[in-house]
Chain A
Amino acid sequence: MRRAMTTGFFISLVRWAVAGLVLCAAGATFARAPQPADAAAPNAITLADKALNSPSMLADESPYELIDPVGPGGISQDEAKTEVTSSTMMGGLLGDGNRSFTGGY
């Protein structure tokens, strides 16, 4: 009888010890695992997304948004047509600035 109680106590002790080890191991694992960015810095992502959803973050062709002026002192109508239809970016045919389509801002 006494032996049975001792064995039961021992088994119970082992169970608690195993449970404790499992909990510790799990805790250590969670602590080491990289946190998802959404959880780590939700405000940072919100701020960044808010900015990126703004049309002002889009890159337009400025100052090339529109095709160059035509006529005396400007480009010819044919040159203006070419600016629109060309398969490469063209603009600033008057050479009036440091324009570049490899720019970005």
Chain B
Amino acid sequence: MRRLAIVALVVALGLVPLGMASADGFFHHLRVDSLINDGITLYHSGDYQGSVNNLNDALSLSTDNMDALYDRGLAFYALGKYDEAAADFKHCLQVQPEFVPALFNLGVTQIALGELDDAKTIFQQIIAAHPTSVRAHFDMGLSNYMSGQADKAVDQFAVASFLHPQYVQAHYDKALAEYRTGNLVAADADASAALKLNDQYARAYFLRGAIRLRQGNDADAKAAFATAAKLSTDPVLKSLCTQIIAQIGA
């Protein structure tokens, strides 16, 4: 009996460090989670630097923590620190290559960096794996448009608006790309589709005004620019509309 008690005591003493290590790991994990949680809360409240600080602390405790790396990339992006954001998303992909949100966000960051070929490569990669990804098609369209490939942008925005017909931005961007290709009829139809979904869309009215100008319909152009000026919250766009209306004349 005594021997049994001694064995039990030895076993118990042996388990103490294990238990302590386990508890330590538990509290460590809890601390990391808490820092990430706070980082996300700060991100959503618009305190991006505060978010970065919390996520830095989380990463100092857990170097390759995917969530913290990814979320810090978002906060860096919001701060306009695109190089740092790209580095975090790339780090995520090293840790977890198949984590497509990090790949997608890297593509968006490459657009912000002006690395449009890299962005297109990324979105093409996502489209190849997920052909019905509306976001990949939309952002591929943005990359095409910004690199001067208006015709290819039209195709991508067409897919995005086909996949999600209520996606007003896809209709508007398609209209803009059509306008740039010189297809005023298609541009007009897409601008109308955007306005049908949202009749308060100032930029779509602006685009309609430009289309009407090119069609020689000055009266309707003026009306469209006037509506754009009325609806827009952007003082630059408002001022531009006023200037254009003055140029058109009576």
Contact = CB atoms under 8 A, between A and B. Distances in A.
Contact of B100 (A53, A85, A96): A85
18 contacts: A37-B213, A37-B215, A44-B244, A44-B248, A45-B210, A48-B213, A49-B210, A51-B206, A58-B146, A59-B169, A66-B74, A66-B105, A84-B130, A87-B134, A89-B135, A103-B198, A104-B194, A105-B233
Majority DSSP secondary structure for residues of B touching A: helix
Contacts of A53: 180
Interface in B19-34: 33-34
Contact of B164 (A52, A67, A89): A89
Interface in A61-105: 61, 65-67, 69-74, 77, 80-81, 83-89, 94, 96, 101-105
Contacts of A96: 44
A40 interface: yes
A83 B70 contact: no
B106 to A, nearest CB: 10
Interface of B: 33-34, 36-41, 43-44, 66-68, 70-71, 74, 77, 99-101, 103-105, 108, 126, 130, 132-136, 138, 142, 145-146, 163-164, 166-169, 172-173, 176, 179-180, 194, 197-198, 200-204, 206-207, 209-210, 213-218, 221, 233, 237, 240, 243-244, 247-249
Contact of A61 (B169, B218, B243): B169
B101 A81 contact: yes
Nearest to B163: A87
A97 B111 CA distance: 25
Majority DSSP secondary structure for residues of A touching B: loop
A52 B105 contact: no
Contacts of B176: 52, 57-58
Closest 8 CB pairs of A and B: A71-B67, A73-B37, A59-B169, A104-B201, A44-B247, A87-B132, A48-B210, A80-B101
